[in-house]
Each structure stands twice: as structure tokens, then as C-alpha cells.
Amino acid sequence: MQQWLGELSQLDVGEILPDEPMSRYTTWKIGGPADALIVPENAEQLARLMTALHQQQIPWMMIGKGSNMLVSDKGIRGAVIKLGKEFEEIRFNGNEAWAEGGASFVRLSIMAGKQGLTGLEFAGGIPGTVGGAVYMNAGAHGSDLSRIFKSAEIVLETGELVTCNAEDMRFSYRHSRLQEQPGIVIRACLELKEGDRLEIAAAMAAYKDRRRKTQPLQQPCAGSVFRNPPGDYSARLIEEAGLKGMRVGGAEVSRLHANFIINTGQATAEDVLSLMEQIKNTIASKYGVHLVPEVFFVGER
């Protein structure tokens, strides 16, 4: 065990899993081992962990449900942090939804609908955590988290706990300040509105049916691979270019949704990266459009 891991094990920072394969934690089912996966169970353990990592200058990253992420075949050096079960609580206070950073974004949307609260219908098909949704300013169906965000409690990489409002977060398309100033969301407050339970349920059912018909949800994938360019859709461009079914190794452009890449069984991160590069080059050559990845590549190259 590396020295820093030995020192962390003495600090009560949660469960520590050395050399943990990241393929077990990503929706693409791809990824080599992390030096350590660490699972803090409460804010005190998390703050202690972040302080220790900062003091020892150990690189770290956060993982939620493992969607929207491509992990290197060589794995991740340093610490990977995954919030434990204590960070999954959801509660409501009037029109406000309070959710811990590790709570399922889908589960939150379903619970809000049952409370007769509208504003989270778009989240019903986003397979991540609340913390990840804040980090990414997650969105779908013409809406995103920034429209309902009120505040969040965040543990900074120094171990300091801060509270940020919507203005502090500097939200834009699939972006928040956390992508520039690292920290971990431990709790978020969302401001919803009263709505009709039946109308909310109907909207969510329609979105779910649409996803089932248009997205390869039964196969390992990571959601949309590329961001939509201004005024257009990446899926439309990729399909029009005739790239559905294009394959590199075990990675394939979905025949159901052109902006999804599926793992057909034995795909590696290098397969996915190579396929993404071929897609980008083809679209740039044919249409002069430069596609920007929506998924994050993490780990050692």
C-alpha cells in the first residue's frame, strides 16, 4: 500500500478500497483500477479526507453514478471519492427539495412529482447523482438544473465547507464553477412550484417512453457523447453523415441514437476515444462543425 493510503487509513475517512477496478462503477463498464476508491459516510469524514488529500497533495476526483464519464484503461492515479449511503437522503419543505449529493437525480424527480411539485420532470432520465447534476448543470427536454437551483453546501478541496447560491455557481450550458474550482456537493436545495400530480406524472411518462424508444438504455453507454452545437443536434449530424453502426473494437455508434456510443461487450477506453475522434473528424470535414465532447475522459493516458 502506498504511504499516503496507509496514513489515510488511520484518519477515519470512510472505507478505503485499494486498486479498485473502475469498470465496476461506470455506466460504460469501462475503466482500469484506481489507486484507491474511498467512500466517506458523512460530512465529517469527507472534510477530513479532503483536508488530508490537500495537505499531502494527492490528486483526487469524484464519482457519482459513473455516467457521463470515460475512465482510462490504465486507471486513475490518486483517490477516487464516492459518497456513501448517508449522502442519499431526500426531503421536502414546502416547495423546496433538499437532497444530499449522493442521492439519485431520477429518484428525486419521481419523489417531487409525487409531492405535486413541478420543475424536475426533465430529470427523470438523467442517470446521475444530485451532486453530479449540480457539477454538470444537467439538463434535458429544454430545461436544466440552473432554473430550479437555490443553493448548495459544498466541501472544497481544502476541506472547508461553503454555501453557494445560484449566482455563485456561474451556471452555463453543462457547466458550473465546480469544473474550475473543485469541490464536492454534499447537499443541494432546489426551488420547485406547485403543480398537478397527474400532469406531472403524464409528462414524465411521456419522456420515459420517448427515451425507451430512442435511446439504447439496455446496453452499456454513457448518455450523449457530444454536446449539441448551437442551433443543431449532434445526433442529427452524425446520423446524416451515415455513421450509425460505425465501430472501433467493441465500441459502436448506436443504431438507435447516433449520439450514443455503446459497449458491445469488450470495448476499451481507447476504442471509444478512437471512435469519438473519427466522428469528430468526419463531422468537421462534412459540415464544418466541431463537436465538443459532453463526456469527461479521466485517468492516466
DSSP collapsed to 3 states, 75-143:
CEEEEEECCCHHHCCEEEECCEEEEECCCEHHHHHHHHHHCCEECCHHHHHCCCEHHHHHHHCCEECCE
C-alpha 291/C-alpha 276 separation (Å) is: 10
Question: Across the strands, what pairs with 81?
Answer: 38, 62
Confidence label for 273 from pLDDT (cuts 50, 70 and 90): very high
* DSSP 8-class letter at 171: -
Q: What is the mean pLDDT of residues 67-87?
A: 96
End-to-end CA distance of the chain: 23
Confidence label for 124 from pLDDT (cuts 50, 70 and 90): confident
Q: What is the mean pLDDT of residues 116-131?
A: 92
| Range list of β-strands (E), the chain | 15-21, 33-39, 60-62, 69-71, 76-81, 90-93, 96-100, 117-118, 139-140, 143-144, 149-156, 161-165, 183-191, 193-194, 247-248, 251-253, 261-263, 296-298
Q: What is the pLDDT of residue 197?
A: 95
Whether 134 contacts 152, CB under 8 Å = yes
Any catalytic annotation for residue 255?
no
Helix, strand, or coil (residue 69): strand
**Amino acid (one-letter) located at 285:** S
C-alpha 214/C-alpha 88 separation (Å) is: 30
Encode pLDDT of 198-255 as tens digits.
Answer: 999 999 998 888 888 999 988 999 989 999 999 999 999 999 999 999 999 999 999 9
| H helix and E strand count, the chain | 8, 18
Any catalytic annotation for residue 167?
no
Catalytic residue among 20, 174, 176, 187: 174
Q: What is the pLDDT of residue 216?
A: 93
Strand-strand pairing, 96-100 and 90-93: antiparallel
Under CATH, what is the fold of the domain 88-212? 3.30.465
Confidence label for 70 from pLDDT (cuts 50, 70 and 90): very high
Strand-strand pairing, 33-39 and 76-81: parallel
C-alpha 276/C-alpha 237 separation (Å) is: 14
Strand order in the sheet with 76-81: 15-21, 33-39, 76-81, 60-62
Q: What is the pLDDT of residue 163?
A: 97
Q: What is the pLDDT of residue 152?
A: 98
Q: Is the four-CA dihedral 189, 190, 196, 197 of positive or negative sign?
A: negative
Catalytic residue among 23, 224, 234, 254: 224
Q: What is the pLDDT of residue 208?
A: 85
Q: What is the pLDDT of residue 217?
A: 85
- Residues of each domain in the chain carrying CATH 3.90.78.10: 216-298
Q: What is the mean pLDDT of residues 155-161?
A: 95
Counting every residue written for the chain, the total comes to: 301
Q: What is the pLDDT of residue 241?
A: 98
Confidence label for 91 from pLDDT (cuts 50, 70 and 90): very high
Encode pLDDT of 248-272 as tens digits.
Answer: 999 999 999 999 999 999 999 999 9
Q: What is the mean pLDDT of residues 67-95?
A: 96
Confidence label for 142 from pLDDT (cuts 50, 70 and 90): confident
- Residues of each domain in the chain carrying CATH 3.30.465.10: 88-212
What is the value of pTM for the model shown?
Answer: 0.91
Under CATH, what is the fold of the domain 3-82? 3.30.43
Q: What is the pLDDT of residue 168?
A: 96
Any catalytic annotation for residue 174?
yes
Asked whether the predicted pLDDT for residue 3 surpasses 90, the reply is no
Whether 75 contacts 298, CB under 8 Å = no
Mean pLDDT of the chain: 95
Taking alpha carbons only, the member of 189, 186, 187, 188 closest to residue 46 is 186
Under CATH, what is the fold of the domain 216-298? 3.90.78
Encode pLDDT of 24-50 as tens digits.
Answer: 999 999 999 999 999 999 999 999 999
- Residues of each domain in the chain carrying CATH 3.30.43.10: 3-82
**C-alpha distances in Å from residue 100, one per residue of 9, 38, 124, 132:** 25, 18, 17, 11
Q: What is the mean pLDDT of residues 181-192?
A: 97
